[in-house]
Amino acid sequence: MRYRTLGRTGIQVSAYALGAMMFGAIGNPDHDDSVRIIRKALDAGINFVETADVYSNGESEEIVGKALAGRRDSVVLATKARGRLRAGSAIEGVDDPNRQGASRRWLVTAVEDSLRRLRTDYIDLYQIHRPDPETDVEETLSALSDLIHSGKVRAIGTSTMPASDMVEAQWVAEQRGLERFRTEQPPYSILNRGIEAEVLPVAQRYGMGILVWSPLAQGLLTGRVRKGQQGDLRRTAMFSHMRDERRLDIVEQIIPLAEQAGLPMTHLAMAFTVAHPGVTSAISGPRTMEQLDDLLAGADVTLTDDILDQIDKIVPPGTDVGQLDMAYRPPALLRPDLRRRPIDERGAA
């Protein structure tokens, strides 16, 4: 297993990280089997485990906590907060709107809940799961700084943060004397290369580690879904991006390239992401032991310049082919009122 320094933190992490999103109700509900998968990954040299409080509403963190019993100190443990969690309301049946976000009010509670579920007294990397436009970044950094100073968190990071917000957060941290974000976790794959334009260069400029998610494009780059075929995944709302003909057309061009290289599609796709000098680690979230075995089998694969050049011709650098279902879309793209002046200010047509 290859290891790399996580930004400028000095922490050494495996080039492939084990994502725990699929452990629990939304993926593998068998706790014992999930624990076996995690421990086999650790035995194979993966030392970086990444989860989030919202994965199966905390169940993923509970499973990870069980799996790390007795070997916590040899693992770099990352989790995330920001998404909305169910339960915990003082009034039965009422969904508390404050059980989410990046405010100090929620983060100081969320970290304690994660520590309890993970059965640990510190988190190596605590990340903000998605940008929170309702909370001032200074508020968030101030709360996270206190968590670092208290010893409950070692380093802090973000996920799917736009490059402009990354720069603002670094500036605020410097001006206010606060701890700064050390990592960013964006989506990245052969099909989604948009972060090469700004996010990766900005991260490199500030010495931030990059942990990429969905290197297999939510399953499209496994080769299991082909153009003209109606697989089960394509019939679900969660994987609506698999009905995007543009993405399927690219997959059909990548398959012969993988065959030419003598590699399974999954190995080609994973190796592509960690070939970029700005990427520290690629997160893969196996649901079964077979999927983990496939990940481990390709851990030492390195792509030649010729193969990378051919990928560049199929999907030009810095471009996205369609969009992942789970991709972050800023409020300015979702809310018409942020794109249109009030009628009385528009003037005559």
Q: How far is CA 41 from the centre of its chain?
A: 18
Instruction: Kindly indicate the confidence band of residue 242, based on its pLDDT and cuts at 50, 70 and 90.
Output: low
pLDDT digits (tens, 9 = 90+) for 39-90: 999 999 999 999 999 999 999 999 999 999 999 999 999 999 999 887 654 4
CA distance 63 to 79: 13
pLDDT of residue 341: 84
What one-letter code names the amino acid at 347?
Answer: G
CA distance 305 to 95: 52
pLDDT of residue 269: 98
Please tell me what DSSP assigns to residue 227: T
Three-state DSSP at 80 gives strand
Average pLDDT, the chain: 92
The residues pairing with 128 across neighbouring beta strands, listed in sequence order, are 81, 158
Q: Which of 280, 304, 300, 277 is nearest to 125 (CA)?
A: 280
pLDDT digits (tens, 9 = 90+) for 296-331: 999 999 999 999 999 999 999 999 998 887 778 888
Could you list the beta-strand ranges (E) of the chain. 3-5, 12-14, 16-19, 48-50, 76-81, 123-128, 153-159, 183-185, 209-212, 281-284
Please state whether beta strands 183-185 and 153-159 pair in parallel, antiparallel, or not at all (unpaired): parallel
Does the domain formed by 3-346 have CATH 3.40.630.30? no
pLDDT of residue 240: 58
Instruction: Kindly indicate the confidence band of residue 164, based on its pLDDT and cuts at 50, 70 and 90.
Output: very high
| Residues near 63 by beta carbon (within 8 Å), at least 6 away in sequence | 20, 23, 24, 31, 34, 35, 38
Domain locations along the chain: 3-346
Q: Which of 64, 295, 79 is nearest to 183 (CA)?
A: 79
Tell the burial category of 17 from Cβ atoms under 10 Å away from its Cβ (0-12, 13-18, 19+). buried
pLDDT of residue 236: 45
pLDDT of residue 260: 95
Which is catalytic among the residues 3, 16, 55, 126?
55
pLDDT at residue 239 is higher than 60: no
pLDDT at residue 233 is higher than 90: no
Q: Catalogue the long-range contacts made by 274-277 (C-beta closer than 8 Å, 24 or more residues apart).
A: 274/2, 274/15, 274/16, 275/302, 275/303, 275/308, 276/188, 276/196, 276/200, 277/204
Residue 55 catalytic? Answer: yes
**pTM of this structure:** 0.92
CA distance 169 to 172: 5
CA distance 187 to 328: 9
Say what percent of the chain tops pLDDT 70.
93
pLDDT digits (tens, 9 = 90+) for 185-208: 999 999 999 999 999 999 999 999
pLDDT digits (tens, 9 = 90+) for 261-289: 999 999 999 999 999 999 999 999 999 99
CA atoms within 13 A on the CB side of 82: 21
